[in-house]
Amino acid sequence: MSEVQSYAPGTHPDMEAPVGQRGIMLWLRTNLFSSWANTLMTLVGIYLLYKIIPPLLHWVVLDSVLNANNREECQALGTGACWAFIKDRYKILIYGFYPIEERWRVNLSFVLLIFALIPILFDHVAMRKPWLIFSGIFPFIAAWLLLGGFGLAHVGTDEFGGMMLNTVVGVTGIAFSLPLGILLALGRKSHLPIVKSISVCFIEFIRGVPLITLLFVASTMLNYFLPPGTTFDLLLRVLIMVTLFSSAYIAEVVRGGLQAIPKGQYEAADSMGLKYWQSMRLIVLPQALKISIPGIVNTFIGLFKDTTLVLIIGLLDVLGVGRSALADAQWNGLAYEVYVSIALFFFVCCFSMSRYSIYLEGKLDKGYKR
Amino acid sequence: MGDTNTATAAAPSANNDDHLIEIIGMHKWYGDFHVLKNINLNVKKGERIVICGPSGSGKSTMIRCINRLEEHQKGQIIVDGIELTNDLKQIDAIRREVGMVFQHFNLFPHLTVLENCTLGPIWVRQTPKAEAEATAMEYLSKVKIPEQANKYPGQLSGGQQQRVAIARSLCMNPRIMLFDEPTSALDPEMIKEVLDTMIELAETGMTMLCVTHEMGFAKTVADRVIFMDGGEVIESNEPHAFFENPQHDRTKLFLSQILGH
């Protein structure tokens, strides 16, 4: 160990770092045992995991019951979760009270939705342009498939329910609130006094009111204002309210991004002779939206979870049908299973959005990092 | 102010046809602050003018009025026969003919160097993409960085970025180029490459207005040097007379300060 080797200048070889300064030992030392306080917290953490994970594993997997006809059978077969209940009722959680023989239309709409999203979410797909045209007409196809008419049996929006209803409200809200929010953000920064004051009033009013209030207005008060006899679909009113609500938040997030664009960018675009909409579309918004991605996705995630609020005005979303399933005498009292399943549905959707946003940030960050 | 006009500016004002820029009795205020006071300036086609003066003297503001990045409140600005008014069409028409290079380059960071150069021609002049790219490569070669065409501005040095900015302006095929302290944000070793580019541009006969502190550039390139202070044009003369025989005390003081070290 103590042997001293000497090298001529410039010939010193690369050597391995000493044990404890590299690999897993280094990782353990720096991350888990760097001080006595960290060591203590590591040990407490290990103890908590030991207390939580095994029971959870037992409840979810080891002691759970997949096949049973009612609650008594479930409890006789195992002490864990009674997934048989969910297995029995998952269709109603997904489709609500959508007519059974028409449910293929919901499935088809969902597959087409994924198909329509691909060229929007990823820019290196083959034939992106014609594909995007399909994405543009997808909302009409989906409306036709879900509502019927033109050869398909009519399904009223009062028959929409379950996860399908949450998805309809969430996707519609997201798709329409982004462009509307961008317009509002630009309006708020506009030099035209009328455009500016309308945008400011709209944003401040909508943001200042709880979504539930807006939904109540949508479900009840609009009838006072509309001429008697006009029917205005409840789901459509909800879609409009949710879109307006979320667009006000998007507008503020995008405005934050706009503030971050240096004045020189506007000046360079102006001095080139670009018109207002050209400089917004080509120069300002691509940069501002990139900065705003975390906030925009945050708003979308919030919007998607808020779709459960439609329960309060009597639409049977996934939470609503879940509660009605709980009232069934045969399966009485299996609230954990239902709510865990619903939570999982929302988590998967929201976590996907979050991952996509991180992917997008990483992709857009390439190239022009300074 | 007209008492120091030189022989080059002696042409009678009736012959305005070759004046690319005419500024007549122009005033500008920021709120109550009177930034530009009675500016009168004629720029002939092919003329190269250097504008200098202490900071806050209004020199940047003045050239920014020429393409309406700043609005003047009184007087007239006529560029290439078009008067600057609030008419957006006229402003756009003028901006198409006037290129501008900024102190902080103001390249578009989300676009490649080539895209920076082709954006204006494609969207403002409706040039076909292939043609715009060919022109852009030509100008990038002239500023000696064709090999950087597909990089992003953030990957270039300051001097390279400013040369891209010059190429970007030239791609619009402007009749007039405005330079707003183009070398002030650069490290000393990069100033030369940008000045060399500007000298080459001057040799092509481009009409140039340049706000700069580079007095060497003024001596070699300028047809006229304008000294501004306190929002006024104090002195305007051809470079030799301007540097050797300044007429005003303020000019003498300014020159002694920037040339004295």
% chain A with pLDDT above 70: 96
Q: What would the 3-class secondary structure string for B120-164 be?
A: HHHHHCCCCHHHHHHHHHHHHHHCCCHHHCCCCHHHCCHHHHHHH
pLDDT at B129: 95
Q: Which of A267, A282, A287 sits opposite B123 (nearest CB)?
A: A282
* A210 and A253 share one domain: yes
* A45 and A91 share one domain: no
The amino acid at residue A237 is R
Does the structure show a pLDDT above 80 at A366? no
Q: Which of A264, A364, A367 sits opposite B106 (nearest CB)?
A: A264
* A208 and A355 share one domain: yes
Q: Does B87 touch chain A (CB under 8 A)?
A: no
Q: At a CB cut-off of 8 Å and minimum separation 6, what does B221 contact? A: B48, B50, B198, B199, B202, B208
* A181 and A32 share one domain: no
Chosen for mutation from B67, B82, B101, B106 (greatest number of chain A CBs closer than 10 Å) is: B106
Q: Does B175 touch chain A (CB under 8 A)?
A: no
Residue range A165-176: average pLDDT?
Answer: 94
Which residues of B fall within a CB distance of 8 Å from A283?
108
Does the structure show a pLDDT above 60 at B15? no
Residue range B158-163: average pLDDT?
Answer: 94
- Band the pLDDT of A370: cuts 50, 70, 90: very low
Q: What is the pLDDT of residues A311-320, one digit of tens each?
A: 988 888 999 9
**Residue matched to tokens 């708003």:** A299
pLDDT at A150: 86
Q: What would the 3-class secondary structure string for chain A be?
A: CCCCCCCCCCCCCCCCCCCCCCHHHHHHHHHCCCCHHHHHHHHHHHHHHHHHHHHHHHHHHHCCECCCCCHHHHHHHCCCCEHHHHHHHHHHHHHCCCCHHHHHHHHHHHHHHHHHHHHHHCCCCCCHHHHHHHHHHHHHHHHHHHHCECCECCCCHHHCCHHHHHHHHHHHHHHHHHHHHHHHHHHHCCCCHHHHHHHHHHHHHHHCCCHHHHHHHHHHHHHHHCCCCCCCCHHHHHHHHHHHHHHHHHHHHHHHHHHCCCHHHHHHHHHCCCCHHHHHHHHHHHHHHHHHHHHHHHHHHHHHHHHHHHHHHCCCEHHHHHHHHHCCHHHCCCHHHHHHHHHHHHHHHHHHHHHHHHHHHHHHHCCCCC
A296: closest CA among A247, A226, A339, A363? A247
Q: Last residue of some domain: A7, A35, A62?
A: A62
Lowest mean pLDDT among A325-329, A336-340, B67-71, B112-116: A325-329
Q: Do B102 and A369 touch (CB under 8 A)?
A: no
pLDDT at A28: 83
* A55 and A171 share one domain: no
* A222 and A292 share one domain: yes
Does the structure show a pLDDT above 70 at B3? no
Buried residues in B58-67 as b, exposed as e (16+ CB within 10 A): bbbbbbbbbb
| CA A141 remoteness from chain centre | 23
| Number of domains present in the structure of chain A | 2
- Band the pLDDT of A368: cuts 50, 70, 90: low
- Band the pLDDT of A52: cuts 50, 70, 90: very high
Q: Does B142 touch chain A (CB under 8 A)?
A: no
Does the structure show a pLDDT above 70 at B8? no
Which residues of A fall within a CB distance of 8 Å from B104?
262, 264
- Tell me the residue length of chain B: 261
pLDDT at B125: 94
Lowest mean pLDDT among A2-16, A41-55, A300-314, B138-152: A2-16
Q: What is the pLDDT of residues A203-256, one digit of tens each?
A: 999 999 999 999 988 888 777 777 776 677 888 889 999 999 999 999 999 999
- Greater confidence, B224 or A9? B224
The domain that holds A284 is classified in CATH as 1.10.3720.10
Which residues of A fall within a CB distance of 8 Å from B95?
270-273
Instruction: Classify residue A138: in a domain, yes or no.
Output: no
Taking CA atoms, what residue in B is nearest to A365?
Answer: B110
Does the structure show a pLDDT above 80 at B99? yes
Which residues of B fall within a CB distance of 8 Å from A264?
102, 104, 106
Q: At a CB cut-off of 8 Å and minimum separation 6, what does B147 contact? A: none
* A45 and A81 share one domain: no
**DSSP-based three-state secondary structure for B57:** coil
The amino acid at residue A315 is L
* Nearest-angstrom CA–CA distance, A203 and A246: 10
Mean pLDDT for chain A overall = 89
Q: Do A287 and B110 touch (CB under 8 A)?
A: yes
Q: Does B166 touch chain A (CB under 8 A)?
A: no
Classify residue B245 by its DSSP letter.
S
* A234 and A346 share one domain: yes
Q: Do A369 and B67 touch (CB under 8 A)?
A: no
Q: Do A262 and B106 touch (CB under 8 A)?
A: yes
Q: Do B95 and A282 touch (CB under 8 A)?
A: no
Lowest mean pLDDT among A88-92, A257-261, B17-21, B36-40: B17-21
Does the structure show a pLDDT above 80 at A19? no
C-alpha distance from A268 to closest chain B C-alpha (Å): 6
Q: Do A264 and B67 touch (CB under 8 A)?
A: no
Residue range B188-192: average pLDDT?
Answer: 90
Q: Which of B92, B108, B153 sits opposite A273 (nearest CB)?
A: B92
* A24 and A87 share one domain: no
Residue range A54-61: average pLDDT?
Answer: 90
Distance, first Cα to last Cα, chain A: 45
Does the structure show a pLDDT above 60 at A292? yes
Instruction: Classify residue A126: in a domain, yes or no.
Output: no
Residue range A97-109: average pLDDT?
Answer: 91
Inter-chain CB pairs, A–B, below 8 Å = 66
* A31 and A178 share one domain: no
* Nearest-angstrom CA–CA distance, B60 and B101: 12
**DSSP-based three-state secondary structure for B115:** helix
Taking CA atoms, what residue in B is nearest to A283?
Answer: B108
Which neighbouring-strand residues pair with B23?
Answer: B41, B77
Q: What is the pLDDT of residues B100-143, one digit of tens each?
A: 999 999 999 999 999 999 999 999 999 999 999 999 999 999 99
Mean pLDDT for chain B overall = 89
Q: At a CB cut-off of 8 Å and minimum separation 6, what does B102 contact? A: A264, A267, A268, B165, B180, B182
Region for residue B75 given its phi and psi (left: phi exceeds 0; alpha: psi -120 to 50; beta: otherwise): left
Instruction: Classify residue A129: in a domain, yes or no.
Output: no
* Nearest-angstrom CA–CA distance, A303 and A112: 22
% chain A with pLDDT above 90: 55
Q: Which of B92, B110, B172 sits opposite A286 (nearest CB)?
A: B110
* A344 and A207 share one domain: yes
Cα angle: A265, vertex A268, A271; to 5 degrees = 145
Residue range A272-294: average pLDDT?
Answer: 94
Q: Do A283 and B99 touch (CB under 8 A)?
A: no
Q: Does A362 touch chain B (CB under 8 A)?
A: no
Cα angle: A334, vertex A340, A344; to 5 degrees = 150
Domain with A52, as residue range(s), is 19-62
Which residues of B fall within a CB distance of 8 Å from A369?
154
| CA A369 remoteness from chain centre | 28
- Greater confidence, B189 or A179? A179
pLDDT at A183: 96
Cα angle: A180, vertex B89, A287; to 5 degrees = 40
pLDDT at B12: 40
Q: Which of A265, A268, A368 sits opposite B154 (nearest CB)?
A: A368
Instruction: Classify residue A5: in a domain, yes or no.
Output: no
% chain B with pLDDT above 70: 93
Instruction: Classify residue A103: in a domain, yes or no.
Output: no
Which residues of B fall within a CB distance of 8 Å from A262?
104, 106
Q: Do A268 and B98 touch (CB under 8 A)?
A: no
Dihedrals phi, psi of A122, to nearest 5 degrees: -125, 130
The edge-to-edge listing of strands for the beta sheet with B48-52 is B98-101, B176-180, B207-211, B48-52, B224-229, B232-237
Structure token digits, residue A243: 């879109």
Sign of torsion, CA A172 A177 A183 A184?
Answer: positive
* A198 and A238 share one domain: yes
Which residues of B fall within a CB distance of 8 Å from A286?
110
- Band the pLDDT of B1: cuts 50, 70, 90: very low
Q: What's the alpha-carbon Rg for chain A, to the nearest Å?
A: 28
Instruction: Classify residue A323: in a domain, yes or no.
Output: yes
Instruction: Classify residue A124: in a domain, yes or no.
Output: no
Does the structure show a pLDDT above 80 at B14? no
Residue range B239-249: average pLDDT?
Answer: 91
* Nearest-angstrom CA–CA distance, B53 and B121: 34
Residue range A61-84: average pLDDT?
Answer: 86
Structure token digits, residue A289: 């939206």
pLDDT at A4: 67
Instruction: Classify residue A104: in a domain, yes or no.
Output: no
Residue range A94-116: average pLDDT?
Answer: 92
Q: Does A282 touch chain B (CB under 8 A)?
A: yes
